């Protein structure tokens, strides 16, 4: 029985392009912080669609076709991927060879009905017992299509209504388990299931009371007694437990096969859900522009794709500010800022627009639909997964006196989490040497590998955070160590088992709280033949040992990170007391910087020349006010200030446009 809060991801808060969403929904005050981090490296490729926007489907190579707000997906046993191309009123089929055809509907999009032509907007798909089930957004039916695309009405009455009354309204995602077809009904605020072998089919509601106002469920009580205002995603594990994404309430629910509420995990604007084949990982998309995997045992979350958008940094890190978000509204905000840039390559360095559906192929590749700009993308893991536990390998946290955080500068750290730099600069090599990576033995049967995943949220304390360490193909009974650089502090050590593997979770001790600044946590092991392997997490700490930036995959570009962002009062350049306290705690992290750039923004409803000039003046005053306060604190690093001026806002409550953003190069 768990109620957790996912406390915010560095990758989801990166950059100055964040915009505030409106309409807060407060979760439980008892929500327990759970770290969000970036995790295993994935490479993103575009299967179908384009950054140029929506369009009609084109039969042939999927890469040459367009889509219009695709939502759900489903695989058949042959590996064909079916995509609900919602605003084209079509279901498209993509073969493993990448060829696209229109399975249901036409290449002409949502044309008026002609005879038996499908004319609904498909929003959910599931493959079950040789048939594709299709949920429509408009006409109160769930359809069943055979392998040739021949449609019949399966469930519903043809009039939109609540499953509580034996009808369907808007079945937003479907999934199959046994003989059952599960779906969330967004407009009716319930989750239901249907036994596809039963005739006539009967709709059974398993969660939600039909009320659109979110309420907190009671653990071990029936989930049908709680309100679920926006159930868009559904997944079912091998025990029959049901996972539900409640988008506008920013939470993921877990319901037992017997119908009782087991867990409530808070996560911003979850949309699509899908479990891997083991049930250990739940993949979730967020309308805020990230794709994540959730550990179903403890709720720990790792972002695997996307740099995020759509929420202020304050909202991402404050449980009381979970937001009532609508993906279409997020898309409008992004479009107003210049559109999308989904770029093939490392998945944590690209935008992913507004992701919706998510599916996992038989080989473990992760597929997601991006409603905006209208794409299907594929994520392929490029970093080996954590190996299974293979024997006793409990690490020992190294005993040593605790190091009290101080304002002294960090010693030339090697890296920290990444955002785009303000100017190019060469990488900085740490003056204190870390573990050395050498080549492993060529072509071993079990390739040497090592993996570190620091589960730490922005603004969360390093002390007490968990670090998952694992490896395989190493020397049997050889040591591994976890060390914090650039001030070398051994955090923990352990020994591989007889098979040369280890897998353990370490709680970060107080002595890991070294100076404020950028640091590198390094896991080191030994391959057969004596070669050393390492994996690193990059973290920037403030002087209270709280993380200001975290990355588990790669070093930042040019050692540049976005360190902090905060708001000013409307039309004011006066620092708030809270901002002054934040800057004081950042003194060590800023003192060790090579260069600092402070960018000010303003809020505006006017586009006139006079207003533009006034906005830039106010924005620069805000940036200069921050610089002056840093000088009072004794920060001597070079500081540049920029007045970005007005960013056209959506209203007076849009805090981002009254912000300053501090970017630091180490």
Give the CATH number of the domain where residue 655 resides: 3.30.1330.60
How far is residue 413's CA from residue 431's CA, in Å, rounded to a whole number? Answer: 8
Per-residue pLDDT at 326: 56
In a domain, 388, yes or no: no
Q: What is the pTM of this model?
A: 0.56
Domain residues for the domain of 530 are 396-439+446-555
**Statement to judge: residues 335 and 465 lie in one domain:** no
**Statement to judge: residues 128 and 273 lie in one domain:** yes
Last residue of a domain, one of 529, 555, 581: 555
Q: Confidence class of residue 566 from pLDDT cuts 50, 70 and 90? A: confident
Paired with 246 in beta bridges are 231, 251
How far is residue 173's CA from residue 171's CA, in Å, rounded to a whole number? Answer: 6
Residue range 139-161, pLDDT digits in tens: 889 999 999 999 999 999 888 89
**E strands present in 22-170:** 32-34, 36-38, 42-49, 60-61, 70-75, 81-85, 90-94, 99-104, 122-128, 131-136, 141-145, 151-156
In a domain, 387, yes or no: no
Average pLDDT over residues 510-522: 88
Decide if 243 contacts 2 (C-beta within 8 A): no
Average pLDDT over residues 118-125: 87
Give exposure, 475-493, as e/b (b: 16+ Cβ within 10 Å).
beebebbbbbbbeebebbb
Segment holding 618, helix H or strand E: helix 609-632
How far is residue 224's CA from residue 191's CA, in Å, rounded to a whole number? Answer: 9
Alpha-carbon torsion (368, 206, 160, 176), positive or negative: positive
**Statement to judge: residues 357 and 372 lie in one domain:** yes
In a domain, 155, yes or no: yes
**Statement to judge: residues 44 and 160 lie in one domain:** yes
- Percent of the chain with pLDDT strictly greater than 90: 38
How far is residue 422's CA from residue 80's CA, in Å, rounded to a whole number? Answer: 44
Residue range 331-381, pLDDT digits in tens: 555 555 555 689 999 998 899 999 999 999 988 899 999 998 999 999 998
**Statement to judge: residues 550 and 574 lie in one domain:** no
How far is residue 603's CA from residue 623's CA, in Å, rounded to a whole number? Answer: 14
Query: Which pairs from 73-78 meet CB under 8 Å and 24+ separation?
Result: 73/125, 73/357, 73/358, 73/359, 73/367, 73/369, 73/376, 74/125, 74/126, 74/127, 74/132, 74/174, 74/359, 75/127, 75/359, 75/361, 75/362, 76/127, 76/132, 77/127
Per-residue pLDDT at 323: 44
Residue 195: is it exposed, middle or buried by C-beta count within 10 angstroms (0-12/13-18/19+)?
A: middle
Average pLDDT over residues 497-504: 86
Per-residue pLDDT at 452: 85
Q: Which residues, in sequence order, are CB contacts of 442 under 8 Å at separation 6+?
A: none
**Statement to judge: residues 610 and 525 lie in one domain:** no
pLDDT > 90? residue 634: yes
**Statement to judge: residues 363 and 490 lie in one domain:** no
Segment holding 266, helix H or strand E: strand 261-266
CATH code for the domain of 290: 2.120.10.30
**Statement to judge: residues 67 and 136 lie in one domain:** yes
Decide if 342 contacts 378 (C-beta within 8 A): no
Last residue of a domain, one of 358, 381, 404: 381
pLDDT > 90? residue 479: yes
Paired with 245 in beta bridges are 233, 252
CATH code for the domain of 472: 2.60.40.1930
In a domain, 386, yes or no: no
Decide if 294 contacts 281 (C-beta within 8 A): yes
In a domain, 572, yes or no: yes
**Statement to judge: residues 273 and 373 lie in one domain:** yes
Decide if 325 contacts 288 (C-beta within 8 A): yes
**Statement to judge: residues 532 and 589 lie in one domain:** no
In a domain, 389, yes or no: no
∠ CA 412-413-419 to the nearest 5 degrees? 120
Residue range 156-177, pLDDT digits in tens: 988 889 998 889 998 989 999 9
Look at the chain and report how many structural domains it folds into: 3
**Statement to judge: residues 103 and 211 lie in one domain:** yes
**Statement to judge: residues 547 and 610 lie in one domain:** no
In a domain, 390, yes or no: no
Residue identified by tokens 């996992």 is: 360
Residue range 280-314, pLDDT digits in tens: 899 999 988 899 998 887 677 888 999 886 443 23
In a domain, 240, yes or no: yes
């Amino acid at each position: 029985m768990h109620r957790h809060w996912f406390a915010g991801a560095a990758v989801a808060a990166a950059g100055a392009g964040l915009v505030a969403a409106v309409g807060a929904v407060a979760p439980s005050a008892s929500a327990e912080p759970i770290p969000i981090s970036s995790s295993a490296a994935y490479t993103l490729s575009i299967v179908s669609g384009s950054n140029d926007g929506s369009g009609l489907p084109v039969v042939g190579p999927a890469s040459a076709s367009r889509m219009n707000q695709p939502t759900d997906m489903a695989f058949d046993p042959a590996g064909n991927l079916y995509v609900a191309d919602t605003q084209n009123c079509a279901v498209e089929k993509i073969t493993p060879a990448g060829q696209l055809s229109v399975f249901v509907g036409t290449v002409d999009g949502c044309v008026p009905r002609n005879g038996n032509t499908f004319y609904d907007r498909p929003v959910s798909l599931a493959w079950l017992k040789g048939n594709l089930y299709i949920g429509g957004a408009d006409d109160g039916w769930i359809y069943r299509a055979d392998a040739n695309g021949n449609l019949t009405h399966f469930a519903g009455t043809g009039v939109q209504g609540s499953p509580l009354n034996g009808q369907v309204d808007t079945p937003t995602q479907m999934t199959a388990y046994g003989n059952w077809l599960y779906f969330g009904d967004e407009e009716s605020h319930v989750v239901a299931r249907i036994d596809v072998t039963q005739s006539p089919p009967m709709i059974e509601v398993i969660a939600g009371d039909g009320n659109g106002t979110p309420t907190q469920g009671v653990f071990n009580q029936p989930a049908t007694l709680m309100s679920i205002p926006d159930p868009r995603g559904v997944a079912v594990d091998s025990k029959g437990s049901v996972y539900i994404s409640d988008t506008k309430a920013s939470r993921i629910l877990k319901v037992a096969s017997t119908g009782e509420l087991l867990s409530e995990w808070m996560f911003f604007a979850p949309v699509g859900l899908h479990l891997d084949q083991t049930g250990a990982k739940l993949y979730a998309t967020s309308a805020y522009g990230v794709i994540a995997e959730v550990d179903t045992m403890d709720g720990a979350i790792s972002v695997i794709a996307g740099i995020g958008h759509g929420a202020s940094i304050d909202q991402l890190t404050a449980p009381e500010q979970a937001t009532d978000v609508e993906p279409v509204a997020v898309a409008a905000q992004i479009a107003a800022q210049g559109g999308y840039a989904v770029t093939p390559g490392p998945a944590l360095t690209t935008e992913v627009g507004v992701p919706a559906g998510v599916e996992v192929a038989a080989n473990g590749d992760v597929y997601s639909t991006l409603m905006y700009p209208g794409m299907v993308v594929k994520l392929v893991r490029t970093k080996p997964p954590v190996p299974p536990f293979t024997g006793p390998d409990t690490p020992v946290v190294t005993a040593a006196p605790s190091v009290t955080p101080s304002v002294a500068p960090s010693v030339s750290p090697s890296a920290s989490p990444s955002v785009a730099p303000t100017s190019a600069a060469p990488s900085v090599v740490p003056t204190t040497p870390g573990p050395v990576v050498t080549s492993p033995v060529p072509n071993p049967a079990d390739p040497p590998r090592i993996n570190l995943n620091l589960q730490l949220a922005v603004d969360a304390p390093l002390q007490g955070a968990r670090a998952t360490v694992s490896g395989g193909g190493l020397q049997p009974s050889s040591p591994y160590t976890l060390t914090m650089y650039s001030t070398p502090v051994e955090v923990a050590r352990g020994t591989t088992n007889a098979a040369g593997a280890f897998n353990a979770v370490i709680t970060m001790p107080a002595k890991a709280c070294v100076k404020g600044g950028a640091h590198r946590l390094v896991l080191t092991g030994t391959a057969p033949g004596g070669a050393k392997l390492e994996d690193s997490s990059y973290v920037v700490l403030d002087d209270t040992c709280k993380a200001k930036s975290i990355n588990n995959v790669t070093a930042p570009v040019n050692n540049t990170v976005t360190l902090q962002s905060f708001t000013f009062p409307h039309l004011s350049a006066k620092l708030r007391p809270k901002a002054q306290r934040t800057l004081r705690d950042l003194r060590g992290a800023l003192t060790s910087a090579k260069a600092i750039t402070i960018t000010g923004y303003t809020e505006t409803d006017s586009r006139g020349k006079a207003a533009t000039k006034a906005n830039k003046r106010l924005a620069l005053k805000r940036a200069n006010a921050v610089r002056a306060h840093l000088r009072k604190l004794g920060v001597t690093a070079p500081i540049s200030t920029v007045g970005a001026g007005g960013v056209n806002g959506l209203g007076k409550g849009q805090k981002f446009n009254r912000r300053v953003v501090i970017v630091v190069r180490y």
